[in-house]
């Protein structure tokens, strides 16, 4: 399954840095395995892909990761009580960084939270990522 994961540059990246696309590319090349946070449980499974949608300043998908484990609940984080591990795909993220998929090219023009990628959009994402 493929998931759309929305971030904003002002948000904190998994490693504590900025969630901008340049930093995400740096993570993909230097420390690709990261713990990610969710506010609600999702039916994610190992092998699912996580497409990273950058909500600003330009609305585009410019990174992709592979999910390693199912989300599990953790205590002490009421806003984002669910965690999972995913590894950024360095080669695909480099390609997406150079040739991101703009939101206007997707059938889902108003993504909310973490959502499944629509079948109509998957081929475009895969082409841009070289997968």
Per residue of the chain (131 residues), give pLDDT as tens: 999 999 876 666 676 666 789 989 999 999 999 999 888 888 999 999 999 999 888 899 999 999 999 999 988 777 778 999 999 999 999 999 999 999 999 998 888 878 999 999 999 999 999 99
What's the pLDDT score for residue 15?
62
What's the pLDDT score for residue 13?
63
What's the pLDDT score for residue 72?
92
Verdict on whether the full-model pTM lies above 0.85: yes
Contact 118, 101 (CB under 8 A): no
What's the pLDDT score for residue 131?
96
What's the pLDDT score for residue 18?
64
| Spatial CA neighbour of 67 closest among 51, 79, 53, 54 | 51
Q: Which residues does 115 contact at the CB level (< 8 Å), separation at least 6?
A: 3, 4, 108
User: Strand, coil or helix: what is 126?
Assistant: helix
Phi, psi values for residue 25, rounded to 5°? -65, -45
What's the pLDDT score for residue 117?
96
Tokens of 47: 């092998």
Q: What is the DSSP letter of 119?
A: H
């Amino acid at each position: 399954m493929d998931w759309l994961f929305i971030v904003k540059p002002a948000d904190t990246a998994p490693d504590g840095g900025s969630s901008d696309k340049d930093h995400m590319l740096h993570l993909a090349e230097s420390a690709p395995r990261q713990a990610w946070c969710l506010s609600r449980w999702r039916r994610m499974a190992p092998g699912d892909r996580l497409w990273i949608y950058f909500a600003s300043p330009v609305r585009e998908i410019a990174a992709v990761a592979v999910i390693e484990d199912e989300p599990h609940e953790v205590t002490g984080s009421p806003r984002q009580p669910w965690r999972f591990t995913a590894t950024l795909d360095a080669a695909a993220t480099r390609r997406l960084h150079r040739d991101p998929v703009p939101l206007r090219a997707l059938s889902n023009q108003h993504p909310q939270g973490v959502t499944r990628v629509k079948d109509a959009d998957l081929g475009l994402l895969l082409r841009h990522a070289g997968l």
